[in-house]
Every structure is written in structure tokens, then in C-alpha cells.
Amino acid sequence: MDISAFAAILISTVFINNFILSRFLGLCPFIGVSKETGPAVSMGLAVTFVTTTASILTWFIYDLILIPLHLEYLRTLSFILTIAFFVQFAEIVIQKKMPSLYKAFGIYLTLITTNCAVLGVTVLNTDMFFLKYKAVAGSFLMSALQGLGAGAGFTLAMLLMSGIRERLEYAEVPRCFRDVPITFIIASLMSMAFLGFSGFKI
């Protein structure tokens, strides 16, 4: 195993295949929570935390339970339950142990269960790092890194979008384009800029 493969995964999930701007995962919070920078970044960090841990947890479930028992078709069901369970658990722990952190991103944690970025990254991990129902070498680390990269890419896009939208408050936008439509158009331009990264060869 060499380092460059891992670096490639990280760079690819953050920039080239950015989860929001090229895979369209997690669009709802991207449109809904990107009005101000503070909440947007909190949401991004909460998502990063959940995508990373969910990637690790689902790797264990897939490799140690589903594959040995030939239950691969239960992937969707077991993954979404794992994520829902974990998010609930994390919410309770954070509320009890770290009240200040809970104030910062507690409310966003609840929303994350139905964030497609989380289930998306776990499904993508099993699609990419399990060939013919067998884990490829280093798949555990790769899954964890892909989870981390997905969250980081999400946070980056949220940060950029919220910065732009804060400036947009002062702009004269035509009435029918106000709020959601203009956000989509900005996202389209951002995504076009991110297309530039797809020329990278790693």
C-alpha cells in the first residue's frame, strides 16, 4: 500500500467528485442551511463527523456480518439503520458530555439521518472498495478516508456558498430569482468551476 493511493482518494472526494457539486448528495442542507457562514460550517463539521464514523461502522458491518452470511442484499436496510442509530446515539452523548458543542451543532445532527451524503458515502464505499464481495487491500482505511473527504468536500462547498450568499443579501436580485433559484444558479457556476479539477490526473 502506498500513500499516494490514499492521497488520491482524499483529493478526489474533496475536489474532483465533490459530493454536493458533482454527485448531488446533500443538496437539501446545501440549499437550506447556507444562508449564514456560522451555521453552514457547523453543519459541515457535523456531517464530516457522521460520514467518517458511518464509513467505519458500515465497513465492519459489511465485511464482518453481511458478507460472511451472504446477506449483501440487506445492505441498504442495515446501513440506514446503523446511521440512524449512530446519529441518535451521538446526539445523546454530545448533549450529556459536551453541552457547548451540542449547542453548536446539535440541531443539525438530527437532520443528518436523512442527509443523502451519509448513506451515499457508505454505499459508494461498498461499491468501490469491495470487488465481487471481497474487500480489496486497504479498503478499511480507504473507506474511512473517503468518508472524511466526503465531509470535507461538503464543508468546503457549504463554506463557499454561505460566503457568497451573505454578500448576495446586498444585491438586487430579480424577484422571481430570489432565494432558492439564485442559489441554484450560483451552485451551477461553482460546479462549473469545480469541473476544472476533473482534468487532474493522479
Strand partners, 130: 135
Shortest approach of another protein to residue 80 CB, angstroms? 5
Task: Of 157, 139, 123, 161, give the one whose Cα is nearest residue 15.
Answer: 157
The C-alpha cell 470487488 sits at 131
| C-beta closer to another protein: residue 73 or 170 | 73
Interface residues with another protein (CB under 8 A) are: 21-28, 31, 73-77, 80-81, 84, 113-116, 118-120, 123-124, 127, 174-178, 180-185, 187-189, 191-192, 194-195
| C-beta closer to another protein: residue 53 or 115 | 115
CA–CA distance, 123 with 55 (Å, rounded to integer) = 9
Q: How many helices (H) and strands (E) does the chain have?
A: 8, 2
Shortest approach of another protein to residue 10 CB, angstroms? 20
Q: How is residue 178 written as a grid cell? A: 430570489
| C-beta closer to another protein: residue 16 or 94 | 16
Shortest approach of another protein to residue 22 CB, angstroms? 5
Task: Of 143, 140, 126, 151, give the one whose Cα is nearest residue 25.
Answer: 151
Shortest approach of another protein to residue 153 CB, angstroms? 13
Q: 112 near 46, Cβ under 8 Å?
A: yes
| C-beta closer to another protein: residue 24 or 140 | 24
Shortest approach of another protein to residue 166 CB, angstroms? 19
| C-beta closer to another protein: residue 95 or 114 | 114
CA–CA distance, 47 with 45 (Å, rounded to integer) = 5
